[in-house]
Amino acid sequence: MAVMLETLRLYYPLLTFTKSTGNAPRTIKYGSKDLHLPPNTMILPNLLGIQSHPRYWGSDRLLWRPSRWTISSSYQNDGLTEKLWTAPKGSYMPWSEGPRGCPGKKFSQVEFVAAMAGLFHRHRVEIVKEDGENQEEAEKRVKALLDDSAMVLLLQLMKSEKVGLRWVRK
């Protein structure tokens, strides 16, 4: 689950989603100021900005680090007793938040974990190295290719054909 949460934090498939103040004016807090928004104001949150803000995510905010989501039990570390950390309200919104949040959130999380368990139960994924490339160089190359993504209709890699992956039986 931590892999899913961290991937969606840094590589969210949508640019944004829309929110609205509705038919009534709204007041939101920004630091110590109150901001008054008129009725029917459309709001387009900058999701990558929110989900990589140093206030919430620290100095390593741009690193893909799934362990930031797990709270390990000090008495038993069997991988089954870990608890998930909950991001501060408003700092993580892949499924939106509030009463209009995604009704399929829990289903998508269960489906993701089941798919990953099925895929990685007997296999692992390796990067296909280019000629003369060591593991570290291959990882840097793939990371650079991941960072070279852009919004077309959804987030997509611009040079996905340059990332070779191989499924290896354990």
Whether 55 and 12 map to the same domain: the answer is yes
What residue type is 96 in one-letter code?
A: S
Say whether both 148 and 107 belong to one domain: no
| Same domain flag for 9 and 58 | yes
pLDDT digits (tens, 9 = 90+) for 79-135: 566 789 999 999 999 998 888 889 999 999 999 999 999 999 999 999 999 999 999
Cβ neighbour number for residue 55 with a 10 Å cutoff = 9
DSSP E strand boundaries for 14-133: 19-20, 26-30, 33-37, 42-43, 70-71, 83-84, 123-127
My answer on whether 115 and 141 are in the same domain is no
- Which of 121, 143, 162 is the last residue before a domain boundary? 121
Q: Which domain holds residue 155?
A: 124-170
The pLDDT value recorded for residue 75 is 57
* Secondary structure percentages of the chain, helix, strand, coil, to 5: 35, 20, 45
Based on the fold, state whether residues 12 and 75 are members of the same structural domain. yes
85 & 12 share domain: yes
Judgement on whether residues 115 and 134 belong to the same structural domain of the protein: no
Which among 80, 99, 121 is the end of a domain?
121
Residue 156 and residue 89 share a domain: no
- Tell me, yes or no, whether 6 lies in a domain: yes
The overall pTM is greater than 0.85: no
Cα within 13 Å of Cα(170), Cβ side? 7
Question: How crowded is residue 92: how many other Cβ atoms within 10 Å of its Cβ?
Answer: 20
Give the pLDDT score at 12: 87
Residue 140 lies in a domain: yes
Cα separation, 170 vs 168, in Å, equals 6
The tally of domains found in the chain comes to 2
Judged against a pLDDT cut of 90, whether residue 157 lies above it is answered with no
In a domain, 142, yes or no: yes
Neighbours of 26 (CB within 10 A): 15
pLDDT of residue 133: 96
**pLDDT band at 152, cuts 50/70/90?**
confident
In this predicted model, what pLDDT tens digit does every residue of 30-43 receive, in sequence order?
889 999 999 999 99
- Residue scoring higher pLDDT (59 or 20): 59
